[in-house]
Amino acid sequence: MALARRSSSLAFIGLPNSLSSPMATNLFLRSTELAQHREGDLVVVEQDDGKFGVFMHELGMMGGGLGEATAKRVKRVGSGAEAATLSSTLITSLPSSSVLQSTYLLPPQSILTTLKGQSFPPSQHLPKGMHTLLIDTSTLDVEVFRSVARQMGEQTNGGTGMVDAPFLGGLSQAKTGRLQFLVGGTQPAFEAAQPLLNLMGNRVTHCGDSGAGLSVKVISSLITGINQIALSEGLLLGSRLGVDSKVLSSVITNSSAQSWSASANSPIPSLSPNPPSLNGFNGGHSTTEMLNEIKFALNAATSLGAPLPLGYSAAMLYENVCDEDVEGAVPGEMKGKGRKDFSVVYEWLKERADGGVESWGSEEGGGEQASK
């Protein structure tokens, strides 16, 4: 009976992330749409009482009230090892490559500790020979993920299937189940993960083998981050030349200069429908997150010998935006503009232009500092 319940149960690890909580909520509330998970438990890994309480409150709010039946299905545990005992499918949403490694591999509380230490029969709901499905939705280093996935497969004698499934979209899309998932892994593992990802998103794309989802995600972030800087520079130059910003934006969005940044994420609030700039650049995708994702792309490029000159320039600029001194900032935490949507790079550039700096290159590097 316990093994049968494990086969139909789902686990989620990583609730403190602002996007993962609504993702887990949609997953749990909609899991009854899948016959194989209708009677299973909903296992949450969370040690903090307050954070677990917030999640249960959100689960009730999004579900129109937390019914007794749903509440009884939610099981709270303290580690991945415990979650792997109770669930045949585990979804993780983690903040860094190092946390991914410890969650999956580091004894005694890792997922691998349980999967190596106990014998589980293949699940009737998973591909042939597989007893556990692992879905990681984090955005992190591609090679670190591939290494973890390889070790999970080898050390469980092929009993696990692991996919990388980072997503595109923000808080609004997470709450409404409209995220786009980019998946890397074998075809059987993808097919097993797809119905669950459809509960949290409205588009699921199989990008290729292990790590391919992450590869596509960081490439997308690289392009988007560069586009946002180019748009900011263009709008700032336009204002200095006396060009009406609405006229300039209209031409940009209807020409070869068009981009998602120009149509949906303008740093000038009146030029896009409800962009983060309308709310003081709050919400959206933080500058720190964008910087990290560009760095993942640069790491991959360095190991493969791929030249990314604009990528390095973009990373340097976003690093400067994130590194601004902020009074009272806590070391190691996002601060100032690093917390803001990455379109705030426009404000950072504008502040320097308003201060008389038209070029931020050093004299040693040949850059000139000109006044307005």
pLDDT digits (tens, 9 = 90+) for 44-94: 999 889 888 888 888 887 766 666 767 788 999 999 999 999 999 999 999
Tokens of 155: 């050390």
d(CA 117, CA 119): 7
Helix (H) or strand (E) holding 290: helix 287-304
For residue 289, pLDDT over 90 is answered with: yes
Q: How confident is the model at residue 358 (pLDDT cuts 50, 70, 90)?
A: low
Q: CB neighbours of 256 closer than 8 A, spacing ≥ 6?
A: none
Give the CA distances from residue 77 to residues 2, 4, 52, 84, 112, in Å, rounded to whole numbers and listed in that order.
16, 19, 10, 10, 16
Q: Tell me whether strands 89-92 and 74-77 are parallel, antiparallel or unpaired.
A: unpaired
The percentage of residues in the chain with a pLDDT greater than 90, rounded to a whole number, is 72
> What domains sit in the chain, N to C, each tagged with a CATH number?
2-210 (3.40.50.720), 217-354 (1.10.1040.10)
CA-based torsion, 250, 256, 262, 263: positive or negative: positive
**pLDDT score, position 260:** 96
Mean residue pLDDT across the chain: 90
Mean pLDDT of 296-310: 97
Between 276 and 171, the higher pLDDT residue: 276
For residue 372, pLDDT over 60 is answered with: no
Are 120 and 153 a contacting pair, CB within 8 Å? no
Q: CB neighbours of 88 closer than 8 A, spacing ≥ 6?
A: 6, 7, 8, 9, 120, 123, 125, 126, 131, 132, 133
Please confirm whether the linkage preceding 16 is cis (ω < 30° from 0). Answer: no
Q: How confident is the model at residue 334 (pLDDT cuts 50, 70, 90)?
A: low
Between 2 and 8, the higher pLDDT residue: 8
pLDDT digits (tens, 9 = 90+) for 235-279: 999 999 999 999 999 999 999 999 999 999 999 999 999 999 999
What does residue 97 show for φ and ψ, rounded to 5 degrees?
-65, -40
**pLDDT score, position 32:** 84
For residue 329, pLDDT over 80 is answered with: no
* β-sheet bridge partners, residue 269: none
Mean pLDDT of 212-226: 98
- Kindly report the number of other CB atoms within 10 A of residue 302's CB atom: 12
